[in-house]
Amino acid sequence: MQIVLSETEARVLGSLIEKEITTPEYYPLSLNALVNACNQKSNRDPHTNLSETDVLRALRQLGELNLARSAATDSRVSKYEHRLSETYNFTRPETAILCELLLRGPQTPGELRSRAERMHPFEDLSLVHTTLKRLMEREPPLVALLPRQPGTKEARYAQLLSVNPVTEETAQHPANPQATEAVLSQAKPIDAWSTSHEEERVRQLESRVEHLEKEVANLHRQFAEFRKQFE
């Protein structure tokens, strides 16, 4: 199934992945710990101020996509964990790179190597490129190469679980025509996938609305039966 996450869902998923790897002694996370992880000022871009309601809503959506769940623990406090490994057969390097892209947005291979080191050390930059290539070759692709911005030496990469940044990045940072055309020609399969991706998002929302309508109808029926007891 093709997955389209909101920005909040991407932040929650990335935070769960990061904390499982970097602080396993505190994982799974309580709701309070997860909110703090999402809103922390380090290793996050952009900074957020999510509420418990925001995070709970994102957890519900991630649960429907089999990407997160309430963990079975001995604690009286509800705790949460991600299910990424059950949905994707990722290696540790792939998990580290994707997590960084979820938490900090588009980045260069050099930035990814430095920032992902706390989750997985990459001996050299070629290993980062190899990992990115594997993520780009998945079906559907999970990572895209963005057009190089004017005045920069390196192109950036972005995750595709929540957005398709190729067209957005080109519009916001127009590069020279030859470079832009070359990148977009490589990204055609991603653009085609993005259209299908959005259609899948619409289908998911329609399914949720239908489910809610059934729940409301069921509540009306139960309430009517309840009233009859007092008539």
Question: Structure tokens of 134?
Answer: 């594997």
Instruction: Give the pair of three-digit tokens for residue 226.
Output: 């309840």
Query: pLDDT value at position 177?
Result: 42
Average pLDDT, the chain: 83
Q: pLDDT of 18-27, one tens digit each?
A: 999 999 999 9
* Structure tokens given for 231: 């008539």
**pLDDT greater than 70 at residue 146:** yes
pLDDT of residue 203: 62
Q: How much is the CA Rg of the chain, to the nearest whole Å?
A: 20
What distance in Å separates the CA atoms of residue 44 and residue 50, rounded to the nearest whole number?
Answer: 13
Give me the DSSP letters along 98-149.
Answer: HHHHHHH-SB-HHHHHHHGGGT---SSHHHHHHHHHHHHTSSS-SEEEPPPP
Classify residue 157 by burial, with Cβ atoms within 10 Å: 0-12, 13-18, 19+.
Answer: buried
Domain architecture of the chain: domains with CATH: 7-87 (1.10.10.10), 92-186 (1.10.10.10)
Q: How far apart are CA 96 and CA 99, in angstroms?
A: 5
Distance CA 39, CA 198 (A): 27
pLDDT interval class at 12 (50, 70, 90): very high
Per-residue model confidence as pLDDT tens digits over 171-220: 344 434 443 344 334 443 444 444 444 555 566 566 667 666 666 777 66
**Cβ proximity of 81 and 27 under 8 Å:** yes
Task: Give the pLDDT confidence score for residue 204 in this predicted structure.
Answer: 58
Residue 44's pLDDT is what?
97
143-145 and 157-159 beta bridge pairing: antiparallel
